[in-house]
Copies of this chain bind each other. A is one copy, B any other.
Amino acid sequence: MKAKIIDGKLIANQIKTELIQEIEKLEIRGFTPGLATVLVGEDPASNAYVRMKEKMCDEIGIQNFGYRLSGNTTENELLKLVDDLKNDHKVHGILVQLPLPKQINEQNVINAIPVFKDVDGFHPTNWGKMMIGEESFLPCTPAGIQELLIRSGYSPENKNVVIVGRSKIVGLPLANILIQKAPGANATVTVCHSKTQNLAEHTKRADILIAAIGIPEFITADMIAENSIVIDVGVNRVEAPEKKRGYRLVGDVNFEAVAKKAKAISPVPGGVGPMTIIMLMRNTVKAMKMANKL
């Protein structure tokens, strides 16, 4: 294997250490950041994500307020809870785990979260602020990808970045972040998707390729440029009868082959995933500081 591994776990741990130190200093001054985590229903994957976030809160010193609602919670009941949390001064960030059961309109819930507690960075106003380069909460996965690139020495500045996938959670906000006239951004960004003709022509001219399309091992070695940087955002379960749990996790990149040609690559798991959670923590600390004008 030729490519250097971009170790998201290691970098997330560095940020974790920084946050622990910052929170300790805030504690001494009498401030404790608080995050409310809301899970509706029993989806095992969602449940696992929320527990990881809650565990991380404990580990770094963020006060966690966990809420578990039944799968037949109505939209009004959830909106009522969000409204209560809006007025709770101990809660600086509100995380409602998505997806929500189908009787609840997700966008209505996202819109109800106050902009200044929207640590997931999904509120339209925060998206608008991001676009115009105003201070805002950046969505955690794209913010984590930017941080991962910068801290591993592959700043997107002045580079050709090609993003495959235009999801609201990754592709679109990441494009907007990396286009900005700002340090760690300033990239020339192309967004490709299912309607793109001759996809490989685009991916092959990427200095930095971001795969966020949700198709297992979709990006193959012949689609990338020699010595490019490849960030794999995909988390796909593929059947693996030999494994105890019956599946294994693979990314959107054919890791083995691409790692022989790329200069650096982020693995799945252990690449973007750990960054997403730590960015949520960072947003929560930021929300607390903003609330207290620190």
Could you list which residues of chain A lie within 8 angstroms of chain B, going by C-beta atoms?
107, 123-129, 131-134, 157-158, 160, 166, 168, 172-173, 175-176, 179-181, 186-193, 195-197, 201-202, 205
Given contacts A181-B166, A195-B158, A197-B158, contact A128 B132 (CB under 8 A): no
Contact in complex: A134, B107 (CB < 8 Å)? yes
Contact partner of A188 (CB less than 8 A), chosen from B124, B127, B196, is B196
Contact in complex: B134, A123 (CB < 8 Å)? no
Q: Closest 3 A-B residue pairs measured CB to CB?
A: A124-B128, A127-B128, A128-B128
Distance in angstroms from A188 CB to nearest chain B CB is 4
Identity of the chain B residue whose Cβ is nearest the Cβ of A136 in the assembled complex: B124
Distance in angstroms from A27 CB to nearest chain B CB is 33
Identity of the chain B residue whose Cβ is nearest the Cβ of A172 in the assembled complex: B131
Contact partner of A128 (CB less than 8 A), chosen from B123, B179, B196, B202, is B123
Contact in complex: B166, A172 (CB < 8 Å)? no
Q: Which secondary structure characterizes the binding site on chain A?
A: mixed
Contact in complex: A197, B188 (CB < 8 Å)? yes
Contact in complex: A195, B157 (CB < 8 Å)? yes
Please, could you name 23 A-B residue pairs with CB atoms under 8 Å apart, sorted by A?
Answer: A107-B132, A124-B125, A124-B134, A126-B128, A127-B131, A127-B132, A128-B128, A128-B131, A132-B168, A133-B168, A157-B195, A158-B197, A166-B180, A172-B176, A172-B179, A175-B175, A176-B176, A179-B193, A186-B193, A188-B193, A188-B196, A189-B191, A201-B205
**A193: B residues at CB distance < 8 A:** 179, 181, 186, 188
Contact in complex: A192, B188 (CB < 8 Å)? yes
Contact partner of A176 (CB less than 8 A), chosen from B125, B131, B188, B190, is B131
**A133: B residues at CB distance < 8 A:** 168
Contact in complex: B134, A129 (CB < 8 Å)? no
Most buried by B among A107, A157, A172, A188: A188
**A187: B residues at CB distance < 8 A:** 195
A129 and B124 alpha carbons, distance in the complex (Å):
6
Contact in complex: A179, B158 (CB < 8 Å)? no
Distance in angstroms from A133 CB to nearest chain B CB is 8
